[in-house]
Structure formats: C-alpha cells, structure tokens
Amino acid sequence: MQIHTNTLIAECSAYDFKEMLERKKVKSWLKSVSAFANTDGGSLFYGVNDDGEIVGLENPQADADFISETIKARLDPVPEIQLVPIEHEGHSLLEVKVKAGMLTPYYYYQDGTRTAYTRVGNESVECNSQQLLSLVLKGTHMTWDSLPTQVDANKHSFIILANTFREQTHQEWNDKYLESFGLVTPDGKLTNAGLLFVDNCTVFQSRIFCTRWTGLYKDDAISSVEHRANLVLLLKYGMDFIKNYTMSGWVKMPNYRLNLPDYSDRAIFEGLVNHLIHRDYTFMGGEVHIDIYDDRVELVSPGAMLDGTQIQDRDIYKVPSMRRNPVIADVFTQLDYMEKRGSGLRKMRELTEKLPNFLQGKEPQYQTEATSFYTTFYNLNWGENRRIPVEKVANRVNSTLEKYPVNEESSVEKYPVNENSTLEKYPVKRNGNKPVGRTAQRIIDMVISNPMITREKMADELGISLDGVKKQIKNLRERGILTHEGSDKSGYWRIIVKP
C-alpha cells in the first residue's frame, strides 16, 4: 500500500477502507474479513475514508481490542489476522491483515444464521451456492472432479479414452491408468472425473452447444447442434463443427502454396480444451457454447476465474496456473492435449500471431463475468464489415516480395568472383524457384495448421520415416521457406514469407 499526498492508493480487491470502526454495525466490516479469508486474503485500513484520504483514529488501541474480540465471537472458523498500527504525519491508522484461509468457508455468524462472503472486485458479496460448494471443497482439500461417487467402475468402459491414448501417445493402454489418473478410486468406484470420461457418459452438464450464426450477432442460425458425450468426444465434436463452418483461402507463392486460414486451428483447439478443463461443473444447467459469427468465434463456459479476479484486468503472461479440475486437466495432459505449465492463454495468442495473414489487433481476447469465461478468436480474413477478398490478403502477405522482386539474372553472373571464392567452392543452387514436392507441401500445410507440431507427429501423419521428415525439413529450411523458433519440444515452426 502506497501513501501519496496523505492519500492511500488504492481500494481494490485486496484492500478495504474504513473511516472509523463501526461498533454497532459490525457486519459492515466483518463481511470483508470473511471475504478476504475465503479468497486471497487482504487488509482493512481503519482511519481512511472511501476516497483514500487519511483521517486517523482517536483510539486505535481500543479499536484493535474490539476488532480482535468481535472476530473471535462472530466468525467461524476464526481466520488468521494481524493487527498493525501505522503512524503517518500525526495520524494513527490501523491495518487488519487477513490471511487467505485453508479452512474455508469462513462464516459470519449472527442470530443463528451463517453467511459466507467472497471478494468480487472491491466489494465483499454473499456467496452463491456454487461459490459456497467451491469453498467447502477447498476447505476439505478436495476438488469436485476428484470426489468419489457410488458408481461401480466395472459397470462402465473406457474404450474411447484408451483408443485416444494409444493414438496420441503411441503407447499401449493399461487399465491401471484409470486409478493412477484419478478416474477410479482404490475400492473400484468412479470419481466425478471418471464419470466424464466413460464411454456412455450421462453427466447432464457434460454438453456443448454449437451454433453458426448469420452475420455478426445472434439472429438467425445457419446451423445449431447440441452434443452430450464424454469429454474426449465433446472435444472432437466441437472441433469438427468449427472446421466445418470456418474457411481457409490460399495464395500461390513462387514455389509453394501458402494457406491463409481464418483462424489458427491449434489456437482454437487450445481454447476449447481450456474451456472443457476449467469450466465449473457444479453448474447443473451450464454447458460450453461455441458460437461462430462472420467475424469471430466465441467460446463460453460456466465458471469465472478461480481466484475471483477479472481476466481482462490481468496480464495473461503473468497469470499463475490454478486448476479448478486438476484430475480432468491431468487426463488431458496424459493425452498430449495440453501442457502442465498452464500456458494456454499465452499459447493461443502466440499461435495466432504465427499465421502469415495475422494483423495487430486480431489477437484472441479473454473476458470473465460473474459466472462465465469468454474466449474470442477474430477472423483474420474479415475487414470492417465484410470478408476481405483473398487477392487483397495475398497482396498484403506478398507486399514485401513485390517490393523486392527476385531477378531472373543470377547474382553470380552479374557479379563474377575469383577462383578462390567460396561461392565457387559452394555454388548457389539454381533450383530455388522450383516448386516443392507433394510431401514438402503437406509439411507446409501442417505447420500453418499447427506451428507446435513435432517431427514425430509429421512422420506419423505423412506415413513416412522420421529421417524422411528431417530430410524434407532440411530442404525447406535451406530454401528459406521454413524456420523454427525455440526447442524441439516447445518451440514453433514458422513459414517465411519474406525473401
């Protein structure tokens, strides 16, 4: 907390200002203590008005004693607090530091009723049923997806999960994984996460609603479909719908074809995985929505940020990994659908920025409301009010090539060299403008679709050896078409469109 010109800066989710101690209306400040303990902790400053101006307290010691005794009498369990006296230019202040609690929920108790509060922005609000359930789970060190059910695992099958595991990892499936992944308890019962991965999933809220709208708003729908299935199938159905209702143009380069997709397939894949993993499954009437408009794709799921903050107010490169459903997240990690580092928001932006037709301002955007999380991907081939003709997109991508055309006359002929020249020892290849082969073109298409693709995955999809893929990649790199940034496992491929 900073003090500037006798003013504290500033009241926010972690601070609350009180001009004086309310002794008859203790609820006015005890709800803030409850909210801080139930979220990420915070401080109440007594002797500071709502504008942050320091006015001071007459008897801070008596106020401190009253605060301590009242918290012990009216909050259950009693949160951990620290009373800190502050002197500033003749004014006496009192800071009440409330530590984030481990025994949530922390209730305010009065007249036989118990109420828990949480922090939303700079306000302390009463918990709704979903928030209260989350606090109860947090206090018992459990998550909803890890809770055991009374359903016998031996009455259900995981064939879809097992086949997907083999396809994604090229490893053999073992039924022992069900327990190690947290889908089955040691006594043979399914967990909530297990119910979401069985073949015949019947969890009501395991659904996605997919809609392709006409134009830019929710008006008439071109197509609308609802899917209820296990999480593996929901991911597949969602991606299939998006691919069916989005487009990809292309432009002819001097020696290869360059795809110009509306969106990064891999970025949208990361987004849909993110919404399936981190959504709040305690919302019984909630589901994931996929809404496709002319100019954007929106993904919406129930459940805001776990720490109560607004994602639009955060730096996405500094958001820590906090998982509402760690069991579900771990299964998706085992399927190689996501990383453990929690870098999904950053990765979606980076993947979009790797596309050759990317424009500044078209980065994926994230927004949270009280009970929802939104991810918006913008159509890279859409102008202010209509689709940009592919010729104009191609001209923009090729603008540098047009400014600096390749001369037909060889630079070696134009500028002869002596006998000891390294150019004579290592002559320039004259097939630079020769069209790439079919396999090389497929590699280019794969890289545009998924800049994170590995050489092993390329070999698998092409049906050739890893050495064959490496040979093709070497040729593309030598010809100045393909480059790679970062490590082999976590870097990005990029198509070079400049000469």
In DSSP terms, 53 is beta-bridged to 7
Residue type at 303? Answer: G
Quickly state the pLDDT bin for 398 (edges 50, 70, 90): low
**Quick check: 175 pLDDT over 90?**
yes
CA distance 169 to 160: 14
In DSSP terms, 108 is beta-bridged to 75, 115
pLDDT given for residue 342 in this prediction: 57
pLDDT given for residue 341 in this prediction: 60
**Quick check: 451 pLDDT over 70?**
yes
pLDDT tens readout for residues 71-101: 999 999 999 999 999 998 888 999 999 999 9
The vertex-497 CA angle with 260 and 463, nearest 5°, equals 65
**Quick check: 126 pLDDT over 50?**
yes
Please provide residue 329's backbone torsions phi and psi, each rounded to the nearest 5 degrees.
-60, -40
pLDDT tens readout for residues 202-219: 899 999 999 999 999 998
Q: Which has more confidence, 337 or 397?
A: 337
Quickly state the pLDDT bin for 182 (edges 50, 70, 90): very high
pLDDT given for residue 51 in this prediction: 80
Q: Which CA distances in Å does 407 have to 138, 410, 414, 431?
A: 67, 7, 10, 14
**DSSP, residue by residue, 58-84:** S-HHHHHHHHHHHHHHHEESPPPEEEE
The answer to whether 181 and 334 have CB atoms below 8 angstroms apart is: yes
The answer to whether 213 and 293 have CB atoms below 8 angstroms apart is: yes
Residue type at 72? Answer: K
Quickly state the pLDDT bin for 8 (edges 50, 70, 90): low
SS3 26: coil
Please give the helix or strand (H or E) that residue 124 lies within, else none.
Answer: strand 123-126
Quickly state the pLDDT bin for 111 (edges 50, 70, 90): confident
Length of the chain: 499
CA distance 479 to 435: 11
Average pLDDT (442-452) is: 92
pLDDT given for residue 249 in this prediction: 83
Task: Specify the pairing of strand 42-46 against strand 15-18.
Answer: parallel
CA distance 477 to 256: 13
CA distance 96 to 79: 12
Please provide residue 105's backbone torsions phi and psi, each rounded to the nearest 5 degrees.
-85, 150
Q: Which CA distances in Å does 166 have to 124, 156, 335?
A: 48, 19, 9
Full-model pTM: 0.76
Percent share of the chain, pLDDT over 90: 60
pLDDT given for residue 432 in this prediction: 55
pLDDT given for residue 286 in this prediction: 83
Q: Which has more confidence, 497 or 145?
A: 145
Average pLDDT (184-208) is: 95
| Chain centre to alpha carbon of residue 372 | 13
Please list, in sequence order, all residues whose beta carbon lies within 8 angstroms of the beta carbon of residue 71, skipping any fewer than 6 positions away: 30, 33, 78, 79, 81
Please give the helix or strand (H or E) that residue 413 lies within, else none.
Answer: helix 411-414
Quickly state the pLDDT bin for 394 (edges 50, 70, 90): confident
Least confident span in 22-31, 169-178, 383-392: 383-392
The vertex-378 CA angle with 377 and 379, nearest 5°, equals 125
From 89, 126, 95, select the one nearest 15 (Cα to Cα): 95
Looking at mean pLDDT, say which of 161-165, 314-318, 453-457 comes out highest.
161-165
pLDDT given for residue 413 in this prediction: 38
**Quick check: 334 pLDDT over 90?**
yes
